[in-house]
């Protein structure tokens, strides 16, 4: 093959002339024997290795010349050069020389780069890895959080599927800092890629979210390595997690009266009953949402969870107040779920809107009281000023009443400190029961037993406990909460949803 030898540099390669139509020109590097640059009539410039083995020519394309890459950039250290070459990379002269030296060693050893490229094409993508992870690991393990894990993958690592636009609320969208690696090959993801993703998610979305996304990616690779489907190192390993403080929020004694008052005014019986059941049982939100009648024995006041997060069955003692809620919900006809829903799961999904209404209503009650104490009349909901042909509702929504109350309070320069109960999540209901158990003298072992915690040091003790001390502790804690909330002055059971039901 005829070619002109030149010293490969960025300026020299940029200035090479383009051959006439249908022709190609070849140039050889004076520093790395066998390294060529092929220039086509369209202006494309590709690095190649051209050597003879046993008298026969061997040619391998390395990648395209990129005039924008800095001369100081080198080959990635944590990526095999064959994998790197199989992605048809963009190269500078330094990278091309290093890659050519490694490829020549392969060729002389009998390794065919074409085979490496074929293996790369057959390699699983990140999207394929996730689907395999779901099918081979999550489903056999009966992970109840599979839907949430899929949502996390789509939101932070993959692609949000196309679907119908929601009638209400914002549609799902990729967030700043997230990536779409659905079509990336497994070996193309480097440690630096994962570290950058972790840093970006931590900066733009949150450190806890960043830890969750990297943990999912690490688990996917670990399962592939364990099943001998991937022979390289896990790029998500050795990524140092952000240190996030453990959440300690629970409903305080001074917040309970307000919380129960607002909950009693919630118009949705499903939301009221779910929150009460969640609070009084101490069970996980997902377990309460998917509660089945077949697992509930109201006569024995027990709820058996055949499958929990820690993989072991759990029997939850039901307090009299919780039993009363469930008896009120018991349908005349046979039903599967205690909290039925219209979705594919068949049961109620995360009631975020209803949960938010509780605190909106409490804030509105607090603002109303302070406005009236300031000598101003404020009533809600008020009638809306309707325009002709306006078919919307005639009175304010809760959100509209709250917005009006905030405006009035601001105009009157009313101190609004503490009018809203802040930073309280649904999962904090579970922590609330445990906290009140501790406050009423329960041991950590009893608390762990009632909440279904799995602790290696306490497993043997758990197995020797019966439900009596657990029930007594939960009974004391739940009654203390209800008394503090002003709903249970005596030992009598008060149906909390009577007020809303009769409204």
Neighbours of 87 (CB within 10 A): 15
CA distances from 37 to 3, 60, 69 (A): 9, 11, 16
pLDDT of 462 strictly over 60? no
Q: Please state the rounded mean pLDDT for residues 174-202.
A: 92
pLDDT of 436 strictly over 90? no
Cα 267 from chain centre: 30
Give the pLDDT score at 468: 60
User: Two tokens at 414?
Assistant: 């009313």
DSSP string, 312-370: S-EEEEPPHHHHHHHHHH--SS--SBSSB-SSTTSB----HHHHHHHHHHHHHHHHHHH
- Residue ranges of domains in the chain, CATH in brackets: 4-122 (3.30.160.390), 126-226 (no CATH), 256-345+427-502 (1.10.443.10), 353-411 (no CATH)
210 vs 165, more confident:
210
Give the pLDDT score at 86: 66
Q: Please state the rounded mean pLDDT for residues 376-402.
A: 81
C-alpha–C-alpha distance, residues 317 and 446, integer Å: 12
Asked if residues 251 and 432 have their Cβ atoms less than 8 Å apart, the reply is yes
**Residue 191's pLDDT band (cuts 50, 70, 90):** very high
Computed on alpha carbons and rounded to an integer, the radius of gyration of the chain in Å comes to: 32
Nearest to 482 by CA among 498, 495, 473: 495
User: Two tokens at 340?
Assistant: 């039925």
Q: Which residues touch 308 (CB under 8 Å, ≥6 apart)?
A: 284, 287, 314, 452
C-alpha–C-alpha distance, residues 183 and 457, integer Å: 44
Digit-coded pLDDT (tens) for 276-331: 999 988 888 888 999 999 999 999 999 998 876 666 778 889 989 999 999 999 99
pLDDT of 202 strictly over 90? yes
pLDDT of 198 strictly over 50? yes
Q: Give bridge partners of residue 305 from the DSSP assignment.
A: 314
Residue 169, classified by CB atoms within 10 Å of its CB into exposed (0-12), middle (13-18) or buried (19+), is exposed
**Residue 106's pLDDT band (cuts 50, 70, 90):** confident
C-alpha–C-alpha distance, residues 239 and 191, integer Å: 8
Least confident window among 33-42, 314-323, 489-498: 489-498
pLDDT of 179 strictly over 80? yes
Give the pLDDT score at 114: 62
**Global confidence as pTM:** 0.60
pLDDT of 54 strictly over 90? no
CA distances from 334 to 318, 331, 378 (A): 21, 7, 46
Give the pLDDT score at 407: 95
Asked if residues 219 and 133 have their Cβ atoms less than 8 Å apart, the reply is yes
pLDDT of 121 strictly over 80? no
C-alpha–C-alpha distance, residues 284 and 280, integer Å: 11
Digit-coded pLDDT (tens) for 132-167: 999 888 888 777 678 889 989 999 999 988 764 555
**Residue 11's pLDDT band (cuts 50, 70, 90):** very high
Give the pLDDT score at 497: 54
CA distances from 400 to 150, 285, 368 (A): 35, 29, 14
Give percent of the chain above pLDDT 90: 49
Q: Which residues touch 51 (CB under 8 Å, ≥6 apart)?
A: 33, 34, 57, 58, 104, 107
Give the pLDDT score at 2: 76
pLDDT of 379 strictly over 80? yes
Asked if residues 64 and 85 have their Cβ atoms less than 8 Å apart, the reply is no
pLDDT of 40 strictly over 70? yes
* Strand order through the sheet with 45-53: 4-6, 24-29, 35-40, 45-53, 56-65, 90-91
Average pLDDT, the chain: 84
Q: Please state the rounded mean pLDDT for residues 177-197.
A: 92
Q: Please state the rounded mean pLDDT for residues 255-270.
A: 94
**Residue 84's pLDDT band (cuts 50, 70, 90):** confident
Give the pLDDT score at 209: 92
Q: Which residues touch 311 (CB under 8 Å, ≥6 apart)?
A: none
As a dihedral over the C-alpha atoms of residue 51, residue 54, residue 55, residue 57, rounded to 10 degrees, the angle is -40
**Residue 459's pLDDT band (cuts 50, 70, 90):** very low
Q: Please state the rounded mean pLDDT for residues 46-69.
A: 90
C-alpha–C-alpha distance, residues 325 and 333, integer Å: 17
**Residue 116's pLDDT band (cuts 50, 70, 90):** low
Give the pLDDT score at 502: 47
Give the pLDDT score at 365: 95
Q: Please state the rounded mean pLDDT for residues 62-72.
A: 90
Q: Please state the rounded mean pLDDT for residues 328-356.
A: 90
């Amino acid at each position: 093959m005829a070619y002109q030898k030149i010293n490969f540099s960025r300026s020299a390669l940029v200035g090479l002339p383009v051959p006439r139509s249908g022709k190609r020109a070849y140039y050889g590097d004076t520093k790395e024997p066998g390294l060529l640059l092929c220039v086509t009539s369209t202006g494309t410039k590709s690095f190649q290795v051209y050597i003879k083995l046993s008298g026969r020519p061997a040619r391998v394309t390395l990648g395209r010349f990129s005039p924008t890459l800095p001369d100081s950039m080198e080959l990635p250290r944590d990526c095999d050069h064959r994998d790197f070459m199989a992605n048809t990379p963009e190269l500078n002269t330094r990278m091309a020389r290093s890659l050519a030296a490694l490829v020549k060693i392969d060729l002389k050893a009998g390794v065919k780069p074409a085979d490496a490229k074929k293996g790369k094409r057959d390699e699983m993508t990140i999207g394929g890895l996730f689907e395999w992870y779901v099918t081979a690991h999550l489903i056999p393990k009966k992970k109840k959080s599979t839907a949430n894990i899929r949502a996390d993958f789509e939101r932070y690592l993959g692609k949000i599927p196309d679907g119908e636009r929601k009638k209400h609320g914002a549609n799902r969208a990729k967030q700043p800092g997230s990536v779409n690696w659905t079509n990336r090959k497994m070996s193309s993801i480097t440690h630096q890629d994962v570290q950058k993703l972790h840093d970006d998610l931590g900066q733009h979305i949150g450190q806890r979210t960043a830890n969750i996304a990297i943990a999912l990616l690490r688990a996917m690779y670990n399962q592939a390595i364990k099943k001998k489907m991937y022979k390289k190192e896990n790029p998500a390993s050795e990524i140092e997690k952000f240190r996030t403080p453990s959440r300690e929020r629970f409903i305080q004694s001074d917040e309970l009266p307000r919380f129960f008052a607002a909950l009693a005014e919630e118009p949705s019986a499903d939301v009221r009953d779910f929150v009460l059941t969640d609070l009084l049982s101490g069970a996980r939100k997902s377990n309460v949402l998917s509660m089945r009648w077949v697992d509930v024995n109201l006569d024995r006041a027990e709820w058996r969870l055949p499958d929990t997060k820690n993989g072991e069955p759990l029997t939850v003692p039901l307090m009299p107040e919780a039993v009363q809620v469930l008896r009120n919900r018991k349908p005349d006809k046979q039903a599967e779920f205690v909290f039925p829903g219209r979705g594919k799961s068949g049961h109620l999904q995360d009631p975020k809107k209803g949960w938010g209404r509780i605190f909106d209503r409490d804030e509105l009650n607090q603002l109303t009281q302070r406005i009236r104490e300031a000598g101003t009349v404020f009533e809600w909901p008020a009638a809306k000023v309707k325009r002709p042909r306006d078919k919307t509702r005639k009175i304010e929504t809760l959100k509209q009443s709250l917005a009006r109350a905030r405006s009035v309070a601001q105009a009157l320069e009313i101190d609004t400190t503490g009018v809203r109960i802040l930073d309280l999540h649904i999962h904090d209901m579970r922590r609330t029961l445990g906290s009140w158990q501790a406050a009423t003298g329960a041991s950590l072992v009893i608390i762990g037993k009632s909440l279904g915690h799995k602790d290696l040091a306490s497993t043997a003790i758990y197995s020797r406990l019966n439900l009596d001390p657990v029930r007594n502790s939960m009974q004391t804690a739940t009654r203390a909460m209800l008394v503090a909330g002003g709903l249970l002055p005596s030992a009598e059971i008060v149906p909390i949803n009577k007020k809303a039901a009769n409204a």
